[in-house]
Amino acid sequence: MAYCSEEDARDAGCTGTSAEVTAWIAAAQERIDAYTQQVFEPTDLVVVADVGADGLVILPRRVRTVTSVMPVLEPDDGASIPASAYRVTSSRVLGQIDAVHLAWGGYDDLVAGAESYNGGWLGLWERWGAEQVKVLGSFGYDTVPQMVGQACALLAADLQAKAAPSDADAAEDGGLQVDDEGNNVAIEDTDDDGASGVVGPTASTGSTQVDALLTGYLNRGYNLIGGV
């Protein structure tokens, strides 16, 4: 799912064939994901986060659903803990945060090591000695926010404009592939591994106007491990 339509990108100034405009939109999305450290469509991810002293695990993306929570242990990860051992909150609900709340006060007499007489979940966790958890689930926004869509269209046009060489540059570099309008059409597909969702953080999208539109969606300081 694209963050903006081809029509929106063209209205913002993007030109070329449908394939070319689509490629610039994909490049803009990658920049937006890297800048905000968010995903704006439902995406299956694996994330690792620290366990707070009170069992609060703040998640690095807007959470939709959580399917598995397991302690990060060496050399192998521990077994997934049952859903009764934690609860999930999401920023989709006003006033809530994206987090897994480990049930330190709970227990399960059917789970070895988490029995009521054995210290419950807290006792089991302390014996594990795990400081982090690996969380599998669906993250992102159900639909692309309007401001993000606008930012994507503007950024697609901005990236294309900045990539277009001058006549002098084109004359010096015969290897450039330029169309009749002067646009560099040698575009690499940035979506070869779209399922991973792993994009390194950047300090800016490259456009101050787009940065301003995305300010409310910034999510810094977390570690994204990978996609599933």
pLDDT at position 132 is: 87
Residues 129 and 200 in one domain: no
Give the tens place of pLDDT for each residue, 42-89. Answer: 999 999 999 887 889 999 889 999 999 988 877 666 677 888 888 999
Separation CA 31–CA 48 (nearest Å): 22
- 66 beta partners: 137
Helices (H) and strands (E) in the chain, counts: 6, 7
Residues 123 and 173 in one domain: no
Instruction: Flag whether 226 is in a domain.
Output: no
Give the tens place of pLDDT for each residue, 138-155. Answer: 999 999 999 999 999 999
Residues 63 and 134 in one domain: yes
Instruction: Flag whether 224 is in a domain.
Output: no
Separation CA 141–CA 95 (nearest Å): 16
Instruction: Flag whether 129 is in a domain.
Output: yes
- The structural domain count of the chain equals 2
Give the tens place of pLDDT for each residue, 92-138. Answer: 898 899 999 987 777 777 777 778 787 777 777 777 777 888 999 99
Instruction: Flag whether 225 is in a domain.
Output: no
Q: At which of 139, 174, 205 does a domain end?
A: 139
Cβ neighbour number for residue 19 with a 10 Å cutoff: 11
Residues 120 and 196 in one domain: no
From its phi and psi, is residue 114 left (phi > 0), alpha (psi between -120 and 50) or beta?
alpha
Q: Which residues have C-beta within 8 Å of that of residue 79, sequence separation ≥ 6?
A: 70
Q: From 39, 33, 14, 47, select the one nearest 162 (Cα to Cα).
A: 14
User: 145: number of CA atoms within 13 Å, CB side?
Assistant: 16
Residue 51: which domain range? 43-139
